Amino acid sequence: MTDSQRWFLVFGLLLTAGLIYLLAPVLTPFLIAALLAYLFNPLVDRLTRWHVPRIFSVTVVFVFVLLLVSLLVLLFVPILQYQLNEAIKEIPAINQWLGRVIWPWVNDHFHVQSLDLSHLQNNWMNYFEKSSGIITQIWKTLSASGIAVVAFLVNLILVFVATFYLLCDWKAVTQAMINLLPRARSEQIVSLMKECGDVLSSFFRGQLLVMIGLGLMYGIGLWIIGMDVGILIGVLAGLVSIVPYLGFFIGILLALLISLIQFHTWIHLLGVVIVFCVGQLTETFVLTPYLVGDRVGLHPLLVIFSVLAGGQLFGFVGVLLAVPVSAVIMVFLKRLRTLYQ
């Protein structure tokens, strides 16, 4: 590569980065659509292998996903609303327990004033008594700004339309991108990108199933031992488990605190520990190996380091993207090691 070609490449990269930065609000729906198309394309390909026309396969996948999401919302929103109301009712007991046990110790050792949570309960109760449910209140909050609602609906429609067209023309889009690659290196680049794609697809699809599995295990386990807000804690722990190990620690701390306040017995604390230990062991030895697989290939210590490094460099977004980015970096490092050897 000559010096002029190098400078042209650097200028092209800088120009592309600047355009992406300036057009970020416009590009966001298309990036979300590309991610959704990437995730759902294997389902469409499987239907097309059964000699189903591609446009009909895309329609079937769209309808199936929309029905599944609607069913989950109809099933879980009332349950979560009930659990949230039960959690709010526990605030007086939590406030009494904190005033009797925790705040005296904290005040004696750290000279910190106690915190009264009764006003928090009153605010939450008034907030939900004025609405017929969580969805209604969310809609009232959003509808307070008409422009925000219109922008949200336009972006949502744009995401659906772009995802549909990308799924219909996925092979043509990918082939067009391949045609832009230098002919001498296209085979190696395509092989590398395919390996990175396999790793990312294994991680995203598998991690979603792991989150659902952990949420169900934690919620059902805590419900079995009699915890009033067990399902709510289980769902929260499952969602937070997108960050490795964070769901376990947050879930078990919340469950121990609520169990101590609700039951006042050590046997229920033991039950909480058993539920979360069984869930963590199941994730480590069953869910992650079978759902995520060994393609990610990151050692647990490397996962912890990746999460901490991502948080230090890029904040919360870095924490979320730490593991998949580290998996892609490992693919590149393995390829470099192969070339070196």
pLDDT digits (tens), the chain, 341 positions: 566 767 777 787 788 878 877 877 788 888 888 888 888 888 898 889 888 898 999 999 989 988 988 887 787 777 777 777 776 676 666 666 666 666 666 666 666 555 555 555 555 555 555 444 555 555 565 555 566 667 778 888 898 899 999 999 888 888 888 887 777 777 888 888 888 887 887 778 788 888 889 999 998 999 898 888 888 888 889 888 877 778 889 999 888 888 877 777 778 889 999 999 999 888 878 887 777 665 566 777 777 788 788 888 877 777 777 888 888 888 888 888 888 88
Is residue 231 within 8 A of residue 78, CB to CB? The reply is: no
Cα separation of 290 and 204, whole Å?
A: 13
Instruction: Note the pLDDT tens digit of each residue in 25-34.
Output: 788 888 888 8
- Number of helices and strands in the chain (H, E): 14, 0
In a domain, 332, yes or no: no
Helices (H), the chain: 3-22, 24-49, 54-89, 91-97, 103-110, 118-129, 134-143, 146-168, 170-179, 186-224, 230-240, 246-263, 266-282, 300-340
Torsion of CA 305, 310, 312, 315, to 10 degrees: -140
In a domain, 37, yes or no: yes
| Residue in this structure with the two tokens 């999460």, named with its chain if needed | 307
Q: Which domain holds residue 155?
A: 23-180
In a domain, 169, yes or no: yes
Backbone conformation region of residue 136, classed left if phi is above 0, alpha if psi is from -120 to 50, else beta: alpha
In a domain, 129, yes or no: yes
In a domain, 222, yes or no: no
In a domain, 65, yes or no: yes
In a domain, 246, yes or no: no
In a domain, 99, yes or no: yes
Cα separation of 47 and 64, whole Å?
A: 13
Total domains, the chain: 1
Entry pTM? 0.66
Q: Rounded to 5 degrees, what angle do the CA atoms 315, 319, 321 make? A: 115
Is residue 131 within 8 A of residue 140, CB to CB? The reply is: yes
